[in-house]
Amino acid sequence: MVAEAVKPKAEVPPPEKWVDEYGDYLYRCAFVRLHDPELAADAVQETLLAALESIDRLENPAAMKSWLVGILKHKVIDHFRKRSRERPVSEVDSSDDPFDEFFDAAGEWKPGFPKDWGENPGAELEKSEFWSTFRECLAKLPGRLSQAFALRVLDDRSSEEVYKEMDITPTNLWVILYRARMHLRRCLEMNWFTGTDR
Amino acid sequence: MMISCIEAGRLLSESLDRKLSFWEKVKLRFHAFICSSCSRGGKQVILVDEAARRLAANPDLLETVAGVKLPEKYRRQIKEALASRDD
């Protein structure tokens, strides 16, 4: 037992290797949430500096990567908080509304929508090019929608955590997430699945 | 009992975020049963959610085609920041 406690420490690479070892992975994690190279790189830097300060608290060196991702997610939330303070986001704004294009006044789908995505749209997720399009669609989400979607779906936090974090009502959160999903649905339809319309 | 497609879509989306009540489930299922557009759109929305979760679990999916990686100038900058703190 004692021997085990001494040994694993050696598995953590020295800090000068961290950027090469974890930099790209952390950057991708940050980029899908922040969509901006500079913001994403800042989050990576803050994450690694925080890790340096608290490396003694890492209990299982084999879990270094997921430990870093945990820190990164907190750094991303810090960024969201800062942005919300600068630009409050509590109101639901109808300009984020992706519905008029597809639904008529009675709230029914307009003729021709939603388009056919083919027999097996799930198979598209196996194509590497799909992810380039998907990332671009994520990046196009309006700020508050993007933030809610990142916390709820990408981070897989509970609805309760997310509406408390964003300081909005549960109903507001659900409307925002519905809009985010509809935006993404439309974006994929236009930029990926249009070719499969038949 | 009858709800619009917008409402059905909202319930479908909410079913991914909370537990629907019994009646909400009945309304949603009934609507999807009689409305092929919503049935299709609902499946698409679920696929969107699944794709996002898959990307979150494996951000390296962005490596091959999108070539997303830490840009060189930030790489250097972060190395320097780490070196200056690590003594």
Report the distance separating Cα A79 and Cα A167, nearest Å. 15
DSSP characters over A2-27: HHHHHGGGGGSPPHHHHHHHHHHHHH
Report the distance separating Cα B30 and Cα A131, nearest Å. 34
- Nearest by Cα to A38 from A27, A23, A50, A54: A27
Which of A25, A45, A192 would best serve as a mutation to test chain B binding (most B beta carbons within 10 A)? A45
Q: What's the pLDDT score for residue A61? A: 87
Residue contact A156–B53, C-beta within 8 A: yes
Provide, as residue numbers in chain A, all residues whose Cβ is less than 8 Å from the Cβ of B61.
128, 131
pLDDT tens for chain A, residues 1 to 198: 455 555 544 578 999 999 999 999 999 999 999 999 999 999 999 999 999 999 998 988 889 999 999 999 999 999 999 988 887 655 556 666 777 788 998 999 999 889 999 989 999 999 999 999 999 999 999 989 999 999 999 999 999 999 999 999 999 999 999 999 999 999 999 999 985 443
pLDDT tens per residue across span B23-74: 999 999 999 999 999 999 999 999 999 999 999 999 999 987 778 899 999 9
The residues facing A109 across adjacent strands are A103
Confidence band (pLDDT; 50, 70, 90) for B85?
Answer: confident
Nearest residue in A to B75, CA atom: A19
pTM for this one?
0.89
Q: What's the pLDDT score for residue A124? A: 94
Q: What's the pLDDT score for residue A196? A: 45
Nearest residue in B to A109, CA atom: B5
Question: B6 to chain A, minimum CA–CA distance in Å?
Answer: 5
Query: Which phi and psi (to 5°) does residue B76 adopt?
Result: -65, -45
Residue contact B69–A116, C-beta within 8 A: no
Give me the amino acid identity at B66. A
Which of B3, B6, B31, B39 would best serve as a mutation to test chain A binding (most A beta carbons within 10 A)? B6
Encoded tokens for B2: 């009858």
**Do A166 and A158 meet the contact criterion of CB atoms below 8 Å apart?**
no
**Do A190 and B30 meet the contact criterion of CB atoms below 8 Å apart?**
no
Q: What's the pLDDT score for residue B18? A: 97
A83 touches chain B (CB under 8 A): no
Say which of A19, A28, A41 has its CB closest to residue B82: A19
**Do A138 and A184 meet the contact criterion of CB atoms below 8 Å apart?**
yes
B57 touches chain A (CB under 8 A): no
**What are the structural domains, with CATH classification, of chain A?**
2-86 (1.10.1740), 94-196 (1.10.10.10)
A13 touches chain B (CB under 8 A): no
| ipTM score | 0.92
Residue contact B14–A174, C-beta within 8 A: yes
Residues 100-129 of A with CB under 8 A from B: 103, 106-109, 113-114, 116-117, 121-122, 125, 128-129
Provide, as residue numbers in chain B, all residues whose Cβ is less than 8 Å from the Cβ of A188.
44, 48
Predicted confidence (pLDDT) at residue B87 exceeds the cutoff of 70:
no
Q: What's the pLDDT score for residue B71? A: 94
A71 touches chain B (CB under 8 A): no
